[in-house]
Structure 1
Amino acid sequence: MSFPGPAASPFVPSVEARPAEVLVHAPLNAEYRHLVLRAGAVAAGARPGQFFQLLCPAPPGEAPFLRRPMSLYGADPAAGTVEFLYKVTGAGTRGLATLAVGDAIDVMGPLGQGFVLHPAWRHVVAVGRGAGLATLAPIARAARAAGIGVTAVLSARRPELVVSEDLFRAEGARVVTVTDQDGTSGPAHVERLLRGLVAEGVADAFLTCGSARLLRVQQRLGREFGIPGQVALEQQMACGLGMCFCCVRDFNEGGEIVHKRVCWDGPVFDMLEAVA
């Protein structure tokens, strides 16, 4: 049995920009910082896989021109909060790193198409690497609320850079970590792990983000075993609203290459249509 990917009809985003208050801003590990904002009910209603456009403050001597897209790491509708993980890599994130608790930041979102958990699924496999581990994190809570089990395969260069592991475990997921340092993160080893999960009958779908190599493994297994999947794509964006067309990528729809905007048509797409 197969299921469609994320909803084909576009979700019309709330494009109102609004101020948010910094509640938590602290290093999570040697690379990633954890940012928690009080942003209101609309923002906190974001779904797994959606993203926000953040207007980063200007760091000394620099002037970021565009908002920075940031995938959702967590949302609490009751508290009106949203969470992000980010790595300082350029002018925008250098500006973001200057924020202190109590500061205000302008946010726009939630934007884009998120992951869809189909009711017939009983157990899914989430496969992520690097920043993709943050994007996949909200799936843990959403799947538990839907009565869907999760096995999370989390990949990073070193064990201390694996993020979201505690979050997945807290929501009852089974977690497998693989790293470059211990030689377990290569596609061949991950494929063996995934084949084992398919054999156990706990892979009704693959949900993935963060690695083209691991995406290709899941696409191959998806075609071999008839397993559907969804992928959140990472892409540079300018407007985040589908107007500038700077995030267009190729997709394979039934053998025909078509062009889609990652920010508007995604960032979550049918796994088998993505051109990795």
Structure 2
Amino acid sequence: MKHPEHRGSIFVEDAEILSQDAFPGKQYILRLQAPRCAARARPGQFVHLTVDPQRPMRRPISIMRAHPGEGWIDLLYKEVGEGTALLARRKAGEIISNLGPIGQPFQVSRKRPLLMGGGVGMPPMLFVAESLKDSDRQPLVILGSEVPFPFTPRPSEIMVPGIPDGIIATLPLLDDWGIACRLTSGQDMPGVHQGYVTDLARHWLNTLDDEAKNEVEVLACGPHPMLEAVVALAREFDLPVQVSLEEFMACGVGGCAGCAVEVQTENGPSMQRVCVDGPVFDGYRVF
């Protein structure tokens, strides 16, 4: 049980909506003024939002960016049900109850983190990338989406040895940070790899020598089938791997255990709560 170490680190705030921008595919980027959360947020953590005053059940959403100095957090979400549909109607200036930051964050320990995000699993990867932009790490970010990306891709100015010629589309913000990024999709888009994030990652990994491979670790967030494929890829190349799981949640703070998943431990299988024991887990212990 991890309640004690979370006491004093999760805050309830009346967060003001600073902006809400809509993108194709019913995707939205929501910026909230939530200074207590912004000051503590770490890559991989999430918030639990009350989407509407008449709907007491909160919704978990990963944190994409946090600015401790200005006190805001950015959230990317997709409208998939009644709750997120209500959230999409909220306007700038309105107040939302924000509970967070919640959960175990990603831990980066190697020189070449390979960050893979799919769909609404992209935000934690952006947060990790931003945390590394002034470090000596050399991350490669691979983002995949089956709907149009919630940004306008542009040709990257950063060359990535091992990436096929012509695969040059990137997320502009990452390029501006000096972080290498490439995009994948099942759709045919200019400069975008047509296929899965793991396909492009495998191509890149196969070009590395043994010394470079020993500097790689894998961090990923996305739908369950993608994470299963990511862990299989990490196993193929004998790489450490962390995954952030997506689960339905009720309380979001470990009380109800409704988000429990089976995790392998030294003492055998254990049911652990995605909200506070995760959402980030060692990939080999989950898959």
* TM-score (normalizing by structure 1): 0.85
State the structure with bigger RCO (CA 8 A, min sep 6), 1 or 2: 1
Please list every run of at least 4 consecutive aligned residues from structure 1 whose deviation after the TM superposition is greater than 6 angstroms. Answer: none
The farther-off stretch of 233-242 and 89-98 is 89-98
**TM-score w.r.t. structure 2 length?**
0.82
- Identical positions, percent: 30
Identify unmatched segments of 5+ residues in structure 1.
Answer: 1-6
The 5 Å alignment of 1:56-135 reads: 56-58=51-53, 63-118=54-109, 121-135=110-124
Q: Does structure 1 retain, via aligned residues, the 8 Å contact 2:223–2:246?
A: no
1:34 aligns with 2:29: yes
- Count of aligned residue pairs for this structure pair: 261
Contact 1:124 1:206 in 2 (8 A): yes
SS at match of 1:56: strand
1:174 matched to which residue of 2?
180
In the TM superposition, what are the counterparts of 1:223-262 in structure 2 within 5 Å? 223-253=235-265, 256-262=268-274
CA contact (8 A) 1:229 1:270 kept: yes
Q: Deviations over 1:110-130 (max 9, x none)?
A: 011111122xx2111111111
Aligned to 2:195: 185
Which residue of 165, 175, 181 maps to 2:171? Answer: 165
Q: Evaluate the alpha carbon distance shift between residue 180 and residue 254 of structure 1 in structure 2; reply closer, same or farther with a 3 A threshold.
A: farther
Question: Following the alignment from structure 1 to structure 2, what is the Cα–Cα distance between the partners of residues 29 and 17?
Answer: 31
Name the structure 2 match of 1:17: 12
3-state DSSP class of the match of 2:216? Answer: coil
CA distance in 2, matches of 1:161, 1:197: 27
Query: Given the superposition, is the C-alpha separation of residues 66 and 151 from structure 1 closer, same or farther in structure 2, using an over 3 Å criterion?
Result: same
Please give the root-mean-square deviation of Cα atoms over the aligned residues, in Å: 2.6
Deviation, 1:146, is 3.1
- Structure 2 residue runs of 5 or longer lacking an equivalent are 152-169
Give, in angstroms, the shift of residue 12 of structure 1: 4.4
Change (3 A) 1:198 1:258: farther
